Amino acid sequence: MADNETAEVAENARKYWAADGYKPGGVIREVDYASQSGGLDSSLEGIKIVDCDTHITEAPDLFTSRAPAALKDKVPRVERVDNTDRWFVGDRDFGTLGGNVIGKDNNKLLGRLAFPTLEEGHPGGHLLKERLQAMDDMGVYAQICYQNSGVTQAGSLMALGDPALALSIIQMYNDATRDFQEQSNQRVFNMGHLPFWDKAELEKEARRCLDMGIKGFVLPDTPERVGVPSFLSDYWTPFLEMCEHYGAPINFHLNAAIDPNMLTWEGFAFEQTLSVVATMFSIGNAATLGNWMVSGRLDRHPKLKIGLIESGMGWVPFAVEALEHQFDEMLAGKRQNLSRRPWQYFRDHFFCTFWFESVGPKLLLETIGVDNVLFETDFPHPTSLYPGVQAHILNTLGGYDYATKKKVLQDNAVKLYNLPF
């Protein structure tokens, strides 16, 4: 990786979850938790709701407790700087612990990214017993989880300039993922991370994760931004074939390739910027969708499954319809490697998620495809569907028959992630 690329990923790690999001302020929304913690609604009895986008905060001792003696002083550690908990690797600042706007008192912080210290946030952000209780209270049976900090992102780890240490950090995270899955009695499923800067290690660690029972992987949508060949390259072919063979999905959580901050007006307050940025990150998944559809990769890997996570669903019909148009208008002379149309590619390969939306699940579910939609809460992040999870499900899916509700809330996720129930 070039020096300028190394500097870029290091800076991105340092800025992960911007400091403004932890400054004093915000608005506390008081939650009547007793009325919001009744578990699964009786009309959904028999459905094991799978929440397909949540975040587990990496515990402060996740790495130090697993590291061999020679690495104890090198692996990530947490330090409190200006009353904010942050990750450090050596003297490198890897950013904050990530988003948790659910307080330890079950109230919700609005207008900020998180409480600044781990103790102020809901303990279910990083502790399994408390997470399972929160899930039971929300009426959620299982969760698909993603990292909550920048310290475990392979692109940032590349900036260390120590591939062996970076690989060890990835492996420790994946070991913790396996343990969470087992200790939760197969209810909490973190997605695996990979050392994608090294083709041999990428394939070796992917196979190790799959052998451990990890259910899928999270990947960057444009790996070439950090000096790794793009998904057009055969660099990725053995890994993608492995995912096909195991039936393991690759997941793209938001679209990290775009910087929506460049789209907002100068002079906005943090809250104004965040409102636009959060929206554009989700819609950015349209680019991820389009890249795979025009690439020819999906014809080479007809069984590959792709999750578009924290994406929303309402934009999907427009994006796919636009691609249908462009297939005729722009790809007329370059269709030799494409055997299907965009709607066929979508239904054969892609899954999208919804949480806050009402229009999408109420009016567009059948257009998008009842087999391609997943439910999520984004707990405990800002914009998460908390409180009122069960009420929102009833409002959005209440007009559908039981079989359709079960598909969206349970069966589609079970199929995508090969869940053991």
Among residues 225, 213, 279, which one has the least CA distance to residue 257? 225
Is the pLDDT confidence value at 3 over 80? no
Task: Write the burial class of residue 346 (CB in 10 Å: 0-12 exposed, 13-18 middle, 19+ buried).
Answer: buried
3-state helix, strand, coil in the chain (%, to 5): 45, 15, 40
Model pLDDT, residue 16: 54
At 114, the pLDDT band (50, 70, 90 cuts) reads: very high
For 7-11, 283-287, 408-412, which range has the lowest pLDDT when averaged over its residues? 7-11
At 17, the pLDDT band (50, 70, 90 cuts) reads: low
Which of 43-52, 87-96, 223-232 has the highest average model confidence (pLDDT)?
43-52
Task: Name the phi and psi angles at 65, rounded to 5.
Answer: -75, -15
Token readout for 327 is 């297939």
Asked if 80 contacts 174 with a C-beta cutoff of 8 angstroms, the reply is: no
State how far the Cα of 288 lies from the Cα of 311, in Å rounded to an integer. Answer: 11
At 257, the pLDDT band (50, 70, 90 cuts) reads: confident
- DSSP state, residue 50: E
Is the pLDDT confidence value at 350 over 60? yes
Model pLDDT, residue 336: 79
Cis peptide before 380 (omega within 30 of 0): yes
For residue 291, count other CB atoms closer than 10 A to its CB.
Answer: 18
State how many domains the chain has: 1
Token readout for 266 is 């100068």
Q: What's the CATH code of the domain at 342?
A: 3.20.20.140
What average pLDDT does this structure show over 6-14?
51
Residue type, 68: P
The DSSP line for 330-361 is TSTTS-TT--S-HHHHHHHHEEEEESS-SHII
Model pLDDT, residue 418: 98
Model pLDDT, residue 11: 54
Model pLDDT, residue 289: 97
Give the residue carrying structure tokens 């986008």. Answer: 53
Number of alpha carbons in the 13 Å side-chain half-sphere of residue 245: 10
Mean pLDDT, rounded, of the chain: 94
State how far the Cα of 16 lies from the Cα of 57, in Å rounded to an integer. Answer: 14
CA torsion, ordered 397, 279, 219, 387, to nearest 10 deg: -50
The DSSP line for 100-150 is B-BBTTS-EEESSSB-SSGGGB-GGGT-HHHHHHHHHHHT--EEEEEE-SS
pTM (2 d.p.) = 0.95
Asked if 87 contacts 77 with a C-beta cutoff of 8 angstroms, the reply is: yes
Range of the domain at 42: 3-417
Is the pLDDT confidence value at 68 over 70? yes
* 335 vs 49, more confident: 49
Is the pLDDT confidence value at 225 over 90? no
% the chain with pLDDT above 90: 87
What average pLDDT does this structure show over 229-240?
98
Is the pLDDT confidence value at 255 over 80? no
What average pLDDT does this structure show over 109-126?
96
The DSSP line for 71-103 is GTTTS-EEEEETTEEEEEETTEEEEES--B-BB
Is the pLDDT confidence value at 417 over 90? yes
pLDDT in tens, 327-337: 999 998 887 77
**Cα separation values, 131 from 83, 108, 135, 140, 143, Å:** 25, 16, 6, 11, 10
- Find residue 352's DSSP bridge partners: 308, 373
Is the pLDDT confidence value at 10 over 60? no
Residues 6+ positions from 42 with CB-CB distance below 8 Å: none
Is the pLDDT confidence value at 13 over 60? no
Token readout for 214 is 């990890």
Is the pLDDT confidence value at 14 over 80? no
